[in-house]
Amino acid sequence: MARHLLKHIGMMAGAGMLGVAFATSGTPALAEEDEFGGSPRAPGVEITYYACSACHSFKLVAQQGLSKESWREVLVWMVEEQEMEPMEPSDFLVTLNYLTKFYGPDRLANKLAAKR
Amino acid sequence: MTDDIIETPPEDILQRFEDDPEKADLEIFGRTPNKDRRGFLRGAGLTAMGAMLGATIPFHRNMPAGFVPEALAGQSTALAGKDGLTLLNDRPVNAETPPHLLNDDVTPTKRHFIRNNGIPPESTAADGWNLTIDGLVNTPMTLSIADLKSKFEVVTERLVIECGGNGRAAFDPPARGNQWTLGAVACSEWTGVRLSDVLKAAGVKDNVIYTAHVGADSHLSGKEGKLPISRGVPIAKAMNPHNLIAFGMNGADLHPMNGAPLRLVVPGWPGSCSQKWLKRVYLRDIVHDGPKMTGKAYRVPAYPVEAGFKVPKEDFEIIEAMPVKSLITTPKTGIKVSGRSLQVGGHAWAGDNTVDRVDISIDFGATWQQANLSKAPNLYAWQRFEHAVKFPMAGYYEVWARATDDEGRSQPFAIAWNPKGYLNNSMHRVSAFVS
């Protein structure tokens, strides 16, 4: 938690995980669709979101459009070199499938978001 | 009361916390801390802060006085001191500048892109900041910023920094990483001392082949001592007199997100060579093997490949100079033109080289017209081009720009695809609707 105790206001590392509605809505409640960084509600969303956003914003994930093979490589690299917690094999597969389905080369998540 | 709080713009909150954190605590959240300067005395302000967060705060008793919850702070400070940038990623912050906002010959600090690999240091104060020069040198040195200013010649130059992945968004199949479009490039005026002067003062040993750069940012995982990025350059490049250890940006201090209080500026090579929050440069007798020097990071295949080709790891080479490129910064794409003429302008740059000419096409590359091209005020600054185009009739046009460097290399139309999405110097085009 130490890195969240940011003393220097101008140097905040980035947004927290809560989507906060400001002046526009007047309602401070969590926006439903932003609970998982706007990623599609489908099996695997929760585990994927928390695995990725432990270290970086889900915005980084949401920009990608990678093949299953590339996603597998990314996840292995995250564990081997970037300090991601190793996953149970079943969780790994759920995450891999979620990423490939929605953040594959055809960027399905973007298409779904555009329809909303 | 609660409504007033919610309506307070985030920027204002942060400014007020910066000015006087405890006063802001009281005025914004109605909060008075306990005697130990933690928590909320008699719960005052806790409801207001919870309302803004949209959640209760289970560990509120521990929260220090004058503290802005990150969920509120991060959202609004990500781009503090910047103007008009497109946020690609907010943790860590990565943001680029739309081309039409890069029209200035000297990129204002507020328009300089941000590329972070790790968590920026909490303190960027110049006082007490030290730079260590060691490794294979005769005399290891630790220098304060005041030492740098007093012991070495201070120079000011306009220098292009471009992210190696600028243009990645156009790759098909997509390449992983931040999806930069066009604006991860800037040419600000940097003030500092020459890296070469400092290395000469330390005494470069004969067996040195590479530099290694270390900054004060920390790894995204939060793991103690793990570096997010540490790159270097061959010693011959390091001794180029245009590399600066910079403490000034556009006549002021560096922006925190651009490496305050001290950074390297190694122009013409991928921006990652220009280590931010610079703490140490050490010299090595091997090619530096720090994070993002090895594997596929900042590397491209040694030979041309078709899109999607699976390149064996050993066939990747470290990127050195960036390729020739240009950017149309006026007009903004999609301009509506009434009449038949349009003034087109922008900048061109070419890694370690200079730009010889820029040509403009309004007919999808069938014919080209040579633009006026200014000389750079110093090597490694971008060069301004200007051209008035005439449209023969009403309709849809694209204005294309193509720069050619002093070795005759031009920008391609197609992307030279590579697995990690680097070095996209394909021609920039803007659309114009002529009526």
Instruction: Nearest by CB to B90, from A15, A83, A84: name it.
Output: A15
What's the number of domains chain A is made of?
1
Nearest CA in chain A to B172: A105
Give the model's pLDDT for residue B4: 38
Q: How far is B174 from chain A (nearest CA, A)?
A: 6
Give which of B138, B150, B140, B186 is closest to B166, Cα–Cα: B186
Collect all residues of chain A within an 8 Å Cβ-Cβ radius of residue B54: 18, 20-21, 28-30
> Does the pLDDT of residue B85 top 70, yes or no?
yes
Cα-based torsion angle of the residue sequence B254, B83, B325, B260 in order, rounded to the nearest 10 degrees: 10
> Chains A and B: how many Cβ contacts under 8 Å?
143
Cα-based torsion angle of the residue sequence B373, B375, B380, B385 in order, rounded to the nearest 10 degrees: -20
Q: Point out the least confidently predicted range of A38-42, B235-239, B258-262, B380-384.
A: A38-42
**% of chain B surpassing 70 pLDDT:** 93
Residue A84: give the domain boundaries. Answer: 2-115
> Does the pLDDT of residue A2 top 80, yes or no?
no
Higher pLDDT, B32 or B139: B139
Give which of B369, B350, B336 is closest to B425, Cα–Cα: B350
Give which of B350, B148, B335, B329 is closest to B246, Cα–Cα: B148
Give the model's pLDDT for residue A14: 33
Section B421-425 average pLDDT: 98
Confidence of residue A5 (pLDDT cuts 50, 70, 90): very low
Q: Point out the least confidently predicted range of A93-107, B10-24, B209-223, B248-262.
A: B10-24
Give the model's pLDDT for residue B351: 98
- Tell if the CB–CB gap between B256 and A10 is shorter than 8 Å: yes
Integer Cα distance of B351 and B328 in angstroms: 18
Instruction: Nearest by CB to A23, from B9, B93, B176: name it.
Output: B9
Integer Cα distance of B157 and B121 in angstroms: 26
Which pair of structure tokens corresponds to residue B153? 């010649």
Q: B11, B220, B294: best mutation site toward chain A, by most A Cβ within 10 Å?
A: B220
- Tell if the CB–CB gap between A56 and B91 is shorter than 8 Å: yes
Q: How far is B160 from chain A (nearest CA, A)?
A: 25
Nearest CA in chain B to A17: B71
Q: Give CA angle at B299 (B85, B79), nearest 5°.
A: 15
Confidence of residue B69 (pLDDT cuts 50, 70, 90): confident
Nearest CA in chain B to A6: B122
Higher pLDDT, A99 or B46: A99
Q: A1, A30, A60: best mutation site toward chain B, by most B Cβ within 10 Å?
A: A60
Q: In terms of residues, how long is chain A?
A: 116
Higher pLDDT, B29 or B104: B104
Superfamily of domain B109-318: Oxidoreductase, molybdopterin-binding domain (3.90.420.10)
Give the model's pLDDT for residue B236: 98
Q: Point out the least confidently predicted range of A65-79, B16-30, B104-118, B180-194.
A: B16-30
Exposed / middle / buried, residue A31 (Cβ in 10 Å: 0-12, 13-18, 19+): middle
Instruction: Nearest by CB to B54, from A15, A30, A67: name it.
Output: A30
- Tell if the CB–CB gap between A56 and B64 is shorter than 8 Å: no
Residues 47-76 of A with CB under 8 A from B: 53-57, 59-60, 63-67, 70, 74
Section B367-383 average pLDDT: 98
- Tell if the CB–CB gap between B70 and A12 is shorter than 8 Å: yes
Give which of A45, A56, A61 is closest to A16, Cα–Cα: A56
Residue B160 CB partners (closer than 8 Å, separation 6+): B185, B186, B187, B267, B268, B349, B380, B381, B382
Residue A30 near chain B (CB below 8 Å): yes
Q: Does domain B325-434 have CATH number 3.30.365.10?
A: no
Collect all residues of chain B within an 8 Å Cβ-Cβ radius of residue A80: none
Residues 10-29 of A with CB under 8 A from B: 10-18, 20-23, 26, 28-29
The pLDDT tens digits of the residues spanning B146-185 come to: 999 999 999 999 999 999 999 999 999 999 999 999 999 9
Give the model's pLDDT for residue B10: 53
* Side-by-side strand order, sheet with B428-434: B335-337, B428-434, B395-405, B355-361, B369-370
The pLDDT tens digits of the residues spanning A6-60 come to: 333 233 333 333 333 333 333 333 444 467 888 999 999 999 999 999 999 999 9
Domain ranges, ordered by start, for chain B: 2-75, 109-318, 325-434
- Tell if the CB–CB gap between B221 and A82 is shorter than 8 Å: yes
Instruction: Nearest by CB to B54, from A5, A14, A28: name it.
Output: A28
> Does the pLDDT of residue B90 top 70, yes or no?
yes
Section B407-430 average pLDDT: 97
- Tell if the CB–CB gap between B222 and A66 is shorter than 8 Å: no
- Tell if the CB–CB gap between B93 and A30 is shorter than 8 Å: no
- Tell if the CB–CB gap between A74 and B176 is shorter than 8 Å: yes
Question: Looking at residue A105, which CATH number applies to its domain?
Answer: 1.10.760.10
Q: B19, B221, B227: best mutation site toward chain A, by most A Cβ within 10 Å?
A: B221
Section B395-415 average pLDDT: 97
Residue A108 near chain B (CB below 8 Å): no
**% of chain B surpassing 90 pLDDT:** 81
The pLDDT tens digits of the residues spanning B272-331 come to: 999 999 999 999 999 999 999 999 999 999 999 999 999 999 999 999 999 999 999 999
Give the model's pLDDT for residue B13: 66
Q: How far is A65 from chain B (nearest CA, A)?
A: 6
Q: How far is B352 from chain A (nearest CA, A)?
A: 31
Give the model's pLDDT for residue A18: 31
β B428-434/B335-337 pair status: parallel
